[in-house]
């Protein structure tokens, strides 16, 4: 196996991510991930299982949500998933075809409403901007008079979910929301779903050292953190490394007292697996109810493999039903 220095010499993370860092500190994003427009109306010409529509949250920050409503429209109110996309905090959006299709399938299989929220990206808007946007999206759900949410959303059964960087956002939002739970009523969070959460640290783990994934190598994640963390900090900052310090102890205590459950999903071929397992252990040590699901495969597996996504949805359905 090549050494890390040899790997770094042979791999250009900027080329892999199809991005260019400009002199003014902004990014030019060349990558074309494909976009899917929202579909808010039923049509006999184009039968679909889920309706979707886009709503602006904060015009100044250009943040918005895409809401997914399974059809036929439900006769009873449904649990709500606040969902955050991946992309290493520097690329992607809720209307990327991959995330649109995943959320559509999730809404259908679990029979839930999905509110897929955008957030500002680095390096133009470094962390904690994404966490601030996530909290704004949560409060927007609480106070919104949006007709689909008013008619079909059960705000007493809310789950916060994200994949990769979105999993990190879901985790950090959970810490914040636990501290503000009294202010969120009547919205009640029942659980956090951390799907391949993007976390890190300065010292390499064994899974990072043995990683040979063609697209998501340590040098790629290093660049993502370099472009998204606050300037002047390293990967042992609390936004990246949840094992450092004791700043989470108060929030963990509140999560335990609130009875929130946490679902952590990962893949053994993911460079992040060791860190994800350690995160599970930390939460279990704090007596938080954690369900972990680690399977074979690589980072983002269920976004690309429909059959694997269906297996995940079965596990998530059990998690949701046992949490409400």
Q: Is 270 a catalytic residue?
A: yes
Which member of 118, 164, 221, 228 is catalytic?
A: 164
Which member of 96, 133, 270, 274 is catalytic?
A: 270
Strands 113-117 and 63-70: antiparallel
Distance CA 111, CA 26 (A): 40
Give the pair of three-digit tokens for residue 164. 């990769």
Q: Give 3-state DSSP helix, strand, coil % of the chain, rounded to 5.
A: 40, 20, 40
Q: Is 306 a catalytic residue?
A: no
Residue whose C-alpha is closest to residue 85's, from 118, 115, 56, 55: 118
CA distances from 160 to 2, 173, 191 (A): 39, 8, 7
Which member of 195, 196, 237, 299 is catalytic?
A: 299
Helices (H), 156-217: 165-179, 181-184, 206-209
Give the pair of three-digit tokens for residue 25. 């500190």
Distance CA 153, CA 178 (A): 21
Q: Is 236 a catalytic residue?
A: no
The set of residues, in sequence order, having a beta carbon less than 8 Å from that of 3 and lying 6+ positions away, is none
Return the active site residues.
164, 270, 299
């Amino acid at each position: 196996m090549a050494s890390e220095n040899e790997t770094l010499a042979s791999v250009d993370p900027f080329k892999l991510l199809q991005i260019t860092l400009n002199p003014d500190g902004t990014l030019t994003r060349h990558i074309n991930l494909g976009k899917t427009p929202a579909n808010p109306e039923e049509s006999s010409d184009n039968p679909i299982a889920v309706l979707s529509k886009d709503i602006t949250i904060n015009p100044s920050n250009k943040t918005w949500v895409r809401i997914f409503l399974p059809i036929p429209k439900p006769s009873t109110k449904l649990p709500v998933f606040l969902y955050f996309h991946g992309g290493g905090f520097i690329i992607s959006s809720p209307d990327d075809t991959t995330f649109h299709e995943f959320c559509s399938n999730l809404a259908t299989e679990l029979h839930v409403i999905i509110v897929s929220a955008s957030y500002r990206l680095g390096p133009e808007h470094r962390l904690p901007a994404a966490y601030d946007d996530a909290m704004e999206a949560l409060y927007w759900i609480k106070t919104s008079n949006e007709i689909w949410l008013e008619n079909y959303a059960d705000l007493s059964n809310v789950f916060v979910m994200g994949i990769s960087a979105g999993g990190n956002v879901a985790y950090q939002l959970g810490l914040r929301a636990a501290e503000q739970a009294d202010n969120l009523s009547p919205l009640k969070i029942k659980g956090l779903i951390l799907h391949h959460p993007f976390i890190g640290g300065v010292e390499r783990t064994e899974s990072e050292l043995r990683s040979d994934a063609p697209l998501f190598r340590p040098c790629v994640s290093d660049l993502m953190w370099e472009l998204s963390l606050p300037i002047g900090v390293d990967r042992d900052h609390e936004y990246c490394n949840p094992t450092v310090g004791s700043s989470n102890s108060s929030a963990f205590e509140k999560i335990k007292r609130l009875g929130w459950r946490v679902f952590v999903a990962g893949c053994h071929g993911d460079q992040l697996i060791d860190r994800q397992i350690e995160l599970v252990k930390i939460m279990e040590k704090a007596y938080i109810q954690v369900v972990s699901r680690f399977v074979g495969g690589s980072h983002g597996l269920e976004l690309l493999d429909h059959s694997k996504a269906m297996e995940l949805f079965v596990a998530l359905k059990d998690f949701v039903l046992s949490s409400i």
